[in-house]
């Protein structure tokens, strides 16, 4: 059955066999992809975005009596409503087509800039309002939608509560300082008068400095201390002036936070989560994934399936650096950045560990405290923290997380070492004062996940409207 007999989606029609569909009266609504004329027959392919494939609609000009000028207006990009009967299709690759009896032109598209030819992704980025109509970006957005649903399904099925954390915040969860300031003041109002000393943000809307959030983690911790299991899935912002294929100024983050979890349980959750997402996409987006495998990155499906079926290998940071140093000694030109204990692992190091050493996904744990955030729990050696990074082939890091420091004295000591005043973190420290518990969580950039499963080279091509330095539509 169609979801709406009078207005089925093209995907639903194409999924029926010719025997099931033959003779059905249908109403097709969508946008013209291509048209071609052959004597008295006009062939129009229509796509409504529900699937990669469109459906062919055939107009017999002698039988339908549709004026030639009407059919001439059915150019690429035009929106149409076509009524007709489903018949077996002689065309290769589809079981049925529409023998059209009438057509209504809903929207003309004269001068449409996306004609039937292959456009570069760079060109399409200049018109994000139209690029969703292309095969590539349409497939990306369908996979993105399905992945988002899979995220919610995974956590909801495991007793997690979806939490909306604030977009405007007064604290920097990552301590990196790359934050967008939010203000109602005019530029001239932000500077104190000569000889006057006031705290930043005085006189502003909130009476103090405020910013767009870089992470919902700290707020999620407060509700994990009340509901036990929560996750965030919302927009986050980084004011990093990075013009690369891996960075966005606005992106979506998935951040589960779980009370009573230690690092071990956190690693298991992260592994199960990735496997669930990958299996879901392979099973439920097969057509789009075949497109990516054929057109974007050959072997993509094989890689995704391999990760979904693999056992994630565990290495601590010291072991990982030891393997990297051994490889660098054997081949001096292997790495651009030479590995050493205390360094932050680069993408080339991460990919070596997954692709050359383990030949599969890796979880690296117990990083030096100097390269990790203040809230991570200290190990007994006093040098490392219970952090974890999940690394996968072709990409490197895809998830970062840790066990959080639940001991008040230890957390206060660490914040003092970093020069972090308690003025803006009193509420966070209260979690350790009143009913503190072990807890852990991780963060995953949603666009990085979409990029990984689609094989898209540039992260700006997996979000509807990319925001980056110098780019605002």
β partners of residue 43: 36, 58
352-395 residue pLDDT tens: 999 999 999 999 999 999 999 999 999 999 999 999 999 999 99
Does 192 have pLDDT greater than 60? no
Measured CA to CA, the distance from residue 142 to residue 147 in angstroms comes to 9
Concatenating the DSSP letter of every residue in 82-129 gives EEEEEEE--STT-SEEEEEEEEEEEE--TT-S--SSPPPHHHHHT-TT
Which of 465, 456, 464, 473 is closest to 121 using CA atoms?
456
Q: Name the least confident of 26-40, 137-151, 185-199, 447-461.
A: 185-199
Say which residue, 253 or 208, is predicted with more confidence: 253
Say which residue, 242 or 461, is predicted with more confidence: 461
Percent of the chain residues past pLDDT 90, beyond the cut: 78
Rg (CA), the chain: 27
64-89 residue pLDDT tens: 888 888 999 999 999 999 999 999 88
Check residue 172 and give its pLDDT. 76
For residue 220, count other CB atoms closer than 10 A to its CB.
Answer: 23
Length of the chain: 473
Percent of the chain residues past pLDDT 70, beyond the cut: 94
Average pLDDT of the segment spanning 306-310: 97
Residue ranges of domains in the chain, CATH in brackets? 10-107 (2.40.50.140), 131-179+214-461 (3.30.930.10)
CA 466 to chain CA centroid, nearest Å: 12
Cα distances from 337 to residues 92, 254, 400, in angstroms, run 52, 30, 21
Q: Name the least confident of 111-115, 173-177, 252-256, 296-300.
A: 173-177
2-34 residue pLDDT tens: 555 457 899 998 887 666 667 889 999 999 999
Measured CA to CA, the distance from residue 172 to residue 214 in angstroms comes to 7
- If you ran DSSP here, which 8-state letter would residue 344 be given? P
Say which residue, 196 or 174, is predicted with more confidence: 174
Is residue 203 within 8 Å of residue 149, measured between CB atoms? Answer: no
Is residue 64 within 8 Å of residue 101, measured between CB atoms? Answer: yes
Check residue 1 and give its pLDDT. 46
Measured CA to CA, the distance from residue 9 to residue 48 in angstroms comes to 7
Backbone region of residue 141 per phi and psi (left: phi > 0; alpha: psi in -120 to 50; beta: other values) = alpha
Is residue 324 within 8 Å of residue 354, measured between CB atoms? Answer: no
Cα distances from 101 to residues 34, 70, 77, 439, in angstroms, run 19, 13, 21, 64
Say which residue, 304 or 5, is predicted with more confidence: 304
- If you ran DSSP here, which 8-state letter would residue 468 be given? B
Check residue 383 and give its pLDDT. 97
Which residues fall within 8 angstroms of residue 94, CB to CB, at 6 or more apart?
Answer: 14, 53, 55, 56
Which residues fall within 8 angstroms of residue 63, CB to CB, at 6 or more apart?
Answer: none
Q: Residues 138, 140, 141, 142: is their CA dihedral positive or negative?
A: positive
* Per-residue pLDDT band at 193 (split at 50, 70, 90): low
Task: Please identify which residue in the block is written with the tokens 């000393």.
Answer: 197
Average pLDDT of the segment spanning 441-460: 97
89-143 residue pLDDT tens: 887 777 889 999 999 999 999 999 998 778 999 999 999 999 999 999 999 999 9
CA count, 13 A, side-chain hemisphere, 184: 8
Check residue 200 and give its pLDDT. 66
Is residue 16 within 8 Å of residue 30, measured between CB atoms? Answer: no
Q: Nearest 5°: phi and psi at 270? A: -65, -40
Find the farthest-apart pair of alpha carbons in the chain and give their distance in angstroms, rounded: 88
């Amino acid at each position: 059955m169609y979801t709406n007999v009078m207005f089925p989606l093209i995907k639903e029609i194409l999924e029926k066999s010719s025997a099931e569909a033959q003779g059905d009266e249908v109403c097709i609504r969508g946008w013209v992809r291509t048209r071609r004329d052959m004597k008295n027959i006009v062939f129009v392919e229509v796509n409504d975005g529900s699937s990669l494939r469109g459906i062919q609609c055939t107009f017999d000009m002698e039988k339908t009596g549709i004026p030639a000028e009407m059919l001439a207006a059915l150019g690429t990009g035009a929106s149409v409503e076509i009524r007709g009967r489903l018949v077996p299709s002689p065309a290769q690759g589809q079981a049925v087509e529409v023998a059209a009896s009438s057509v209504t032109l809903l929207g003309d598209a004269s001068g449409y800039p996306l004609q039937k030819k292959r456009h570069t992704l760079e060109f399409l980025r200049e018109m994000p309002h139209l690029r969703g109509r292309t095969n590539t970006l349409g497939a990306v957005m369908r996979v993105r939608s399905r992945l988002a649903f899979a995220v919610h399904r995974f956590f909801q099925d495991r007793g997690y509560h979806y939490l909306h954390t604030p977009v405007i915040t007064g604290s920097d969860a990552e301590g990196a300082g790359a934050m967008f300031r939010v203000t109602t003041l005019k530029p001239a109002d932000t500077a104190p008068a000569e000889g006057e000393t006031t705290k930043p943000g005085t006189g502003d809307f909130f009476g103090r400095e405020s910013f767009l959030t870089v992470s919902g983690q700290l707020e999620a911790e407060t509700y994990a201390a009340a509901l036990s299991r929560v996750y965030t899935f919302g927009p986050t912002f980084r004011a990093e002036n990075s013009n690369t294929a891996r960075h966005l100024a606005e992106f979506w983050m998935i951040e589960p936070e779980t009370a009573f979890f230690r690092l071990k349980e956190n690693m298991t959750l992260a592994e199960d989560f990735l496997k669930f997402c990958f299996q879901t996409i392979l099973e439920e987006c097969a057509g789009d994934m075949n497109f990516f495998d054929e057109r974007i990155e050959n072997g993509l499906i094989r890689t995704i399936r391999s990760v979904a079926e693999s056992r994630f290998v565990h290495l601590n940071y010291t072991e990982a650096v030891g393997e990297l140093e051994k490889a660098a000694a054997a081949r001096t030109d292997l790495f651009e950045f030479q590995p050493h204990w205390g360094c932050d692992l680069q993408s080339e190091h991460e990919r070596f560990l997954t692709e050359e050493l383990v030949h599969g996904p890796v979880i690296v744990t117990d990083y030096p405290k100097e390269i990790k955030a203040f809230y991570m729990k200290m190990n007994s050696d006093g040098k490392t923290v219970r952090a974890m990074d999940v690394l996968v082939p072709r990409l490197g890091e895809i998830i970062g997380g840790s066990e959080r420091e639940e001991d008040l004295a230890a957390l206060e000591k660490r914040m003092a070492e970093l020069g972090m005043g308690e003025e803006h973190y009193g509420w966070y420290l209260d979690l350790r004062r009143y009913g503190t518990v072990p807890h852990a969580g991780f963060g995953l950039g949603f666009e990085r996940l979409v990029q990984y499963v689609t094989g898209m080279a540039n992260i700006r091509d997996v979000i509807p409207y990319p925001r980056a330095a110098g780019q605002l539509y």
